[in-house]
């Protein structure tokens, strides 16, 4: 008996990204991306892992589509590799790159799986990085031109488009922390990059709509509820600033309010350079907001003069000592954080539609006697699905949920050391082995809800 049933037509799905699963980095005319450069730079990734082969999805995609079909998920979110489409970032289009995604989309539709296409999931053509990358305003225009090329080819069959995946991570993990490509550590550049990413979104949306009639277009943000470490005033104010840094910096301009005044004041002369019309472009109406939720941000005041934010994340070991269970990423498992986030989004921004475009967890999965028992992942997903159901009951316009990830894959700086998949990948043989959570999720999809 289904206790927590989801609305009819709820879009259950799985999610992946090009550089994390495809491999075939030198095949069929693909050009290098900044992640090819970064992962081949000594010391940047776990044990020097690269995406050169990854899950070899570029060649094994028919088997992967079959696994999706067996799972029974009605939707699949994947990203298109810009360097396969425009190897130099602009100019000459690589038809063989377009052909790959054309075949994949046709196979998904044949399998009655709705494709959700992410246009940018971090693999910027290196040729554009050589011309300034996202720190250069021209890259925003190049992105809109790339979106136009892809939407013209696939827009008759792809009706759900996501311009960007997690611009916060691209800007601040890639250009401030420097632990992602292109590995820059400069606050001013990172803030300017966040502006150019949003601007590129604003210019891509009309291009997609023009080429893909009645398409639904949105953007995916990594968002978290922000919780102060203590009720002390300084921690509560730090949490407010961190909420501005992580959430409101992107949500406010996308929903037509311009950049948050408190953050412009906090950033001072680090604030981005914008041109007339930029904010209007960024505020172009979207059909849905994609939300990637993993864990809340637990924040405390930090007096360091080197930190304009004067707020830092509470370290994982403290969270563990406080009683939180952690995933292999060191992220606290807080299903209620998803409910809290969705209710806040509905209250403060009221998007017409929300999709959870990523939620999932890495655990220390072991292959034993040809099987992978992953009870922790089942519990994680169960509890987060229950939180999403509660939000639905409280009026949140949630229309779908994509589990990260369909299969184990290249986890960026962590390489292949972190496993998020519903399907285990044996990286020696590239064999796909569905984990117990795959069968469990298949049951949830068939019942369209949780049975206990």
Ligand X SMILES: N=[N+]=NCCCCNC(=O)[C@@H]1[C@H]2[C@H](O)[C@@H](O)[C@H](O)[C@@H](CO)[C@@H]12
> Nearest 5 degrees, angle CA 344-CA 376-CA 337?
10
Question: Which region, judged by CB under 6 A, interacts with ligand X, from 25-33, 163-171, 247-255, 440-448?
Answer: 163-171
Separation between Cα atoms, residue 144 and residue 139, nearest integer Å: 9
Strand, helix or coil at 98?
Answer: helix
The token pair that represents 263 in the structure block: 């953050």
Strand, helix or coil at 148?
Answer: helix
* Residue 94 or 295 with smaller CB distance to ligand X: 295
Check binding of 126 to ligand X (CB under 6 A).
Answer: no
Question: Which region, judged by CB under 6 A, interacts with ligand X, from 165-173, 301-309, 348-356, 394-402?
Answer: 165-173
- The DSSP letter of residue 4 is E
Question: Which region, judged by CB under 6 A, interacts with ligand X, from 2-10, 166-174, 281-289, 379-387?
Answer: 166-174
Check binding of 173 to ligand X (CB under 6 A).
Answer: yes
Question: Which region, judged by CB under 6 A, interacts with ligand X, from 169-177, 268-276, 378-386, 433-441?
Answer: 169-177
> Residues 329-358: x/- map of binding to ligand X (CB under 6 A)?
-----------------------------x
- For residue 121, the minimal CB distance to ligand X (Å) is 6
Choose which of 22, 64, 148, 166 interacts with ligand X (CB under 6 A): 166
Is 166 a known active-site residue? yes
Residues paired with 118 in a beta bridge: 79, 162
Query: Which is nearest to 96 in space by CA: 144, 58, 124?
Result: 58
* Residue 6 or 410 with smaller CB distance to ligand X: 410
Query: Which is nearest to 302 in space by CA: 294, 292, 312, 316?
Result: 312
Residues paired with 433 in a beta bridge: 424
Choose which of 248, 389, 411, 450 interacts with ligand X (CB under 6 A): 411
Q: Is 220 left (phi over 0), alpha (psi -120 to 50) or beta?
A: beta
Is 358 a known active-site residue? yes
Q: Identify residues 216-245 at the interface with ligand X (CB under 6 A).
A: 222
Check binding of 326 to ligand X (CB under 6 A).
Answer: no
The token pair that represents 10 in the structure block: 């709820």
Size of the site for ligand X (CB under 6 A): 14
- The DSSP letter of residue 107 is H
Contact 145, 198 (CB under 8 A): no
Check binding of 36 to ligand X (CB under 6 A).
Answer: no
Strand, helix or coil at 348?
Answer: helix
Question: Which region, judged by CB under 6 A, interacts with ligand X, from 64-72, 139-147, 162-170, 317-325?
Answer: 162-170
Q: How many CB atoms lie within 10 A of CB 439?
A: 13
Check binding of 413 to ligand X (CB under 6 A).
Answer: no
- For residue 420, the minimal CB distance to ligand X (Å) is 6
Check binding of 363 to ligand X (CB under 6 A).
Answer: no
- For residue 401, the minimal CB distance to ligand X (Å) is 15
Task: Tell me the torsion sign for CA atoms 355, 361, 366, 369.
Answer: negative
* Residue 169 or 283 with smaller CB distance to ligand X: 169
174 CB burial (10 A radius; 0-12, 13-18, 19+): buried
Q: Identify residues 285-304 at the interface with ligand X (CB under 6 A).
A: 292, 294
- Please identify the residue of the shown chain whose CB is closest to the bound ligand X: 222
Contact 162, 289 (CB under 8 A): no
Check binding of 250 to ligand X (CB under 6 A).
Answer: no
Helix (H) / strand (E) containing 298: strand 297-301
Check binding of 169 to ligand X (CB under 6 A).
Answer: yes
**Residues interacting with ligand X, by CB under 6 A?**
17, 20, 165-166, 169, 173, 177, 222, 292, 294, 358, 404, 411, 420
Catalytically annotated residues: 166, 358
């Amino acid at each position: 008996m289904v206790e927590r049933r989801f609305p009819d037509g709820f879009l259950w799905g799985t999610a992946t990204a090009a550089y994390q699963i495809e491999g075939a980095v030198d095949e069929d005319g693909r050009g290098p991306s900044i992640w090819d450069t970064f992962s081949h730079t000594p010391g940047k990734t776990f044990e020097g892992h690269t995406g050169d082969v990854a899950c070899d999805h570029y060649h094994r995609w028919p088997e992967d589509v079959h696994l999706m079909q067996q799972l029974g998920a009605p939707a699949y979110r994947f990203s298109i590799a810009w360097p396969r489409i425009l190897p130099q970032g602009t100019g000459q289009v690589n038809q063989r790159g377009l052909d790959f995604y054309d075949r994949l989309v046709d196979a998904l539709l044949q399998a009655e799986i709705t494709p959700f296409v992410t246009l940018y999931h971090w693999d910027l053509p290196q040729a554009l990085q050589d011309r300034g990358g996202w720190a250069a305003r021209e890259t925003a225009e190049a992105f809109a031109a790339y979106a136009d090329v892809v939407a013209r080819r696939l827009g008759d069959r792809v009706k759900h488009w996501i311009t960007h995946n997690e611009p916060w991570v691209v800007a601040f993990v890639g250009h401030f922390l420097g632990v992602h490509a292109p590995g820059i550590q400069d606050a001013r550049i990172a803030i300017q990059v966040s502006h150019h990413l949003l601007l590129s979104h604003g210019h891509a949306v009309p291009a997609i709509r023009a080429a893909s009639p009645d398409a639904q277009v949105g953007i995916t943000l990594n968002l978290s509820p922000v919780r102060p470490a203590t009720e002390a005033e300084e921690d509560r104010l730090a949490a407010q600033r961190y909420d501005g840094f992580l959430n409101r910096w992107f949500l406010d301009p996308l929903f037509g309010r311009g950049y948050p005044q408190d953050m412009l004041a906090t950033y001072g002369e680090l604030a981005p350079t914008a041109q007339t019309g930029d904010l209007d472009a960024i505020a172009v109406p979207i059909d849905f907001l994609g939300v990637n939720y993993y864990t809340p941000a637990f924040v405390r005041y930090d007096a360091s003069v080197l930190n304009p934010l004067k707020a830092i994340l509470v370290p994982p070991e403290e969270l563990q000592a406080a009683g939180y269970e952690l995933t292999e990423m060191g992220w606290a498992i807080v299903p209620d954080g998803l409910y809290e986030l969705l209710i806040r989004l509905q209250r403060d921004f009221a998007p017409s539609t929300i999709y959870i475009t990523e939620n999932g967890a890495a655990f220390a999965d072991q292959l034993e006697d040809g099987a992978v028992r992953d009870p922790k992942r089942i519990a994680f997903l169960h509890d987060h699905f229950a939180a999403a159901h509660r939000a639905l009951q409280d009026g949140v316009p949630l229309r779908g949920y994509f589990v990260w990830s369909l299969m184990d894959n290249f986890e960026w700086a962590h390489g292949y050391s972190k496993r998020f998949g519903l399907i285990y990948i044996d990286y020696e043989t590239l064999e796909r082995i569905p984990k117990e959570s795959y069968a469990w999720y298949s049951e949830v999809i068939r019942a369209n809800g949780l049975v206990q």
